[in-house]
């Protein structure tokens, strides 16, 4: 459970950093590229993975994640621009249904009653927490759907990476970050040539900081999946509900965002949901 808690803290830190960066500089693909460059260096420095390019290492899961991870950052920004941050946040969090469905139908997990109650309670919590006034009247359902499927598929792919026996997950992580860096670099070059952005001096610093939290988030997320190999819904549910619970609290107390009575009720439901999921893991009920 410690791995999962650390992953939640790092995931929320990424969100807080994005919110802070928006006030200091523009968020573009160059910043994301620097983030993956740092993640590569950190992975190699910490784990010294044995690098051997083979079919085992370059499997469909690592290749898919190499493309999806940077792509979902772009889709997230487009969705926020065209549909607003609230609807985008809903699409991102409700994507939880995809890995939960896969846990039941693909991974053949037997989900205890308490965990089902916790998951349902969590979705009630999401409804109340995300029940805020939308500032944007326009909406583009295409980007919302892409964010929904993108995050859901990424969760499932990380579960598959954690289950691999052929190579250590630290080696897989190195290949994933390398792939992400190559893919985002290509987009960066194209965007730069088309003069879609300018490289700002503080983008490198924020990119490195983002890379640190992103690396720790994914590393401990994979470790959590290994710890709960037979109970992936514990990881999926606790991660999603924990991130939005902590993120909302930080938004209220640090960024002084106003919470309605419905939002506060959602926080209470989120605490109950996480407690039920964790209890079901401990007691197997």
Q: Where are the domains of the chain?
A: 2-111+136-229
Q: Give the whole-angstrom CA distance, residue 257 versus residue 250.
A: 9
Q: How confident is the model at residue 27 (pLDDT cuts 50, 70, 90)?
A: low
Contact present, 273 and 121 (Cβ < 8 Å): yes
CA angle (273 as vertex; 114, 238 as ends), nearest 5: 95
Residue 203 pLDDT > 90, yes or no? no
CA angle (42 as vertex; 41, 47 as ends), nearest 5: 105
Q: Report pLDDT digits (tens) over 220-269.
A: 998 898 888 888 888 888 888 888 888 888 878 887 778 789 888 888 88
Q: Report pLDDT digits (tens) over 211-221.
A: 899 899 989 99
Q: Give the whole-angstrom CA distance, residue 50 versus residue 44.
A: 9
First-to-last alpha carbon distance for the chain, in angstroms, is 18
Q: Report pLDDT digits (tens) over 105-137.
A: 888 888 888 888 888 998 888 888 777 655 554
> Which of residues 44 and 231 earns the better pLDDT score?
44
To which residue do tokens 């803290």 refer? Answer: 9
Q: What is the reported pLDDT for 135?
A: 52
Q: Report pLDDT digits (tens) over 129-184.
A: 777 655 554 556 788 889 889 989 998 998 888 887 777 888 888 999 999 999 99
Q: What is the reported pLDDT for 143?
A: 85
DSSP state of 202: T
81-85, 94-98, 274-278: the lowest-pLDDT one: 81-85
Q: What is the reported pLDDT for 176?
A: 92
Residue 9 pLDDT > 90, yes or no? yes
């Amino acid at each position: 459970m410690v791995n999962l808690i650390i992953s939640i803290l790092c995931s929320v830190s990424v969100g807080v950093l994005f919110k802070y960066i928006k006030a200091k500089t523009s968020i573009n693909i160059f910043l994301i590229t620097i983030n993956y460059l740092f993640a590569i260096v950190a992975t190699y420095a910490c784990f010294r993975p044995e690098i051997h390019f083979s079919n085992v290492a370059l499997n469909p899961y690592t290749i898919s994640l190499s493309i999806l991870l940077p792509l979902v950052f772009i889709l997230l920004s487009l969705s926020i621009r065209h549909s607003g941050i609230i609807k985008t946040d809903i699409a991102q969090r409700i994507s939880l249904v995809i890995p939960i469905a896969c846990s039941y139908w693909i991974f053949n997990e037997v989900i205890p009653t308490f965990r089902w109650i916790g998951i349902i309670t969590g979705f009630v919590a999401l409804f109340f927490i995300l029940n805020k006034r939308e500032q944007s009247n326009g909406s583009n359902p295409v980007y919302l759907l892409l964010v929904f499927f993108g995050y859901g598929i990424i969760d499932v792919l990380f579960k598959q990476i954690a289950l691999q026996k052929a190579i250590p997950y630290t080696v897989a992580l190195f290949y994933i970050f390398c792939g992400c860096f190559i893919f985002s670099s290509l987009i960066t070059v194209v965007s730069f040539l088309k003069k879609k952005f300018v490289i700002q001096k503080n983008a490198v610093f924020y990119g490195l900081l983002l890379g640190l939290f992103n690396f720790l988030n994914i590393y401990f997320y994979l470790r959590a999946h290994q710890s709960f190999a037979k109970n992936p819904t514990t990881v999926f549910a606790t991660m999603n509900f924990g991130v939005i619970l902590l993120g909302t609290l930080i938004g209220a107390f640090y960024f002084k965002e106003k919470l309605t009575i419905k939002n506060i009720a959602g926080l209470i439901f989120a605490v109950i949901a996480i407690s039920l999921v964790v209890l079901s893991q401990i007691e197997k009920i």
